[in-house]
Structure 1
Amino acid sequence: MILRSNLQICKATSVDIPILVTLLKALFSIEKDFFFDEKKHKDGLNLLINSRNSQVIIVKFENEIIGMITIQKIISTVMGTKVGLIEDFIIKDDYRDLGVGTYLFEYIKDYAEKNSLTRLQLVCDEDNITAKEFYTNKKFKQSNLNAWYYTL
């Protein structure tokens, strides 16, 4: 049984990147819009870890990284404030449905409040029913907006 006292949440460092890339590989296997590209993901994680406007947060159980979430501070004209863009939220399969994701999400909410972020937003694959249920249970509201991408 996993108790919150058995979990450790901390900022990721560059040393953690190889393990985080394996988590991203699992995440991107679920999402139809994205393809695994180890070099790009390593580069992206390095940028996030070294940016003052973002955080890569990991959760550990017995010193094993079992999940991660990234958050970036962006400015919203709708809110007139900084908001948080959540990406790359994943918990290893063996640790799902044990409260780990909820614990990590509570950490991100606390981080957002301490950093005066007024909204958390994310995109979610339409076919990822588990994630959609999780976000609904956490009081996220589905937007009428759809994500669109233009690659340069």
Structure 2
Amino acid sequence: MMKGLLDWQHMSFAHPYYFGLFLLIPFMIWWQYSKKKYDNPSIRLTTISGLKEVKPTWRVQLRPALFWLRVLALSFLIIALARPQSSSVSESIDSEGIDIVMSIDVSGSMLAEDLKPNRIEAAKKVAEEFVNDRPTDRIGLVIFAGESFTQVPITIDHNVLKE
């Protein structure tokens, strides 16, 4: 199960007072069903025998669903206005090591196949071995091809680097 996504203990709202807008929903429901009493169109006919075979169209059948979709949309809007925020729990790890930033060339020249399968794959393999040999070091990754880009800031989480 998605533990991090459904962890409600660390959920907070920037503007919880917007939840007061949920009081509009019962009013909307009351309004919807009270206006039906007065909003029925009517025609006086001498006979309705010809109308018994007429089936309501799909638009008429789905009309109640439109109201409930509006209620659902309003609910989502209210939740969005409250700005839900989750805070992740940070864990303090005491370790001795050094900070290392790896720099890898990702330019077109790295696609040369003088190393199998190519230079970029060989560099990835060497980098992965390097990371595996340093469990207590914080390691970051910068890639470059003309311009540099910080791919992974310095971190102790080596799984991020391996991805």
TM-score class normalised by the smaller sequence? under 0.3
Q: Which has the higher contact order (CA 8 A, sep 6+)?
A: 2
Task: Give the number of the structure whose alpha-carbon radius of gyration is greater.
Answer: 2
Q: TM-score, length-normalised on structure 1?
A: 0.24
The structure in which a higher percent of residues are helix is: 2
The structure in which a higher percent of residues are strand is: 1
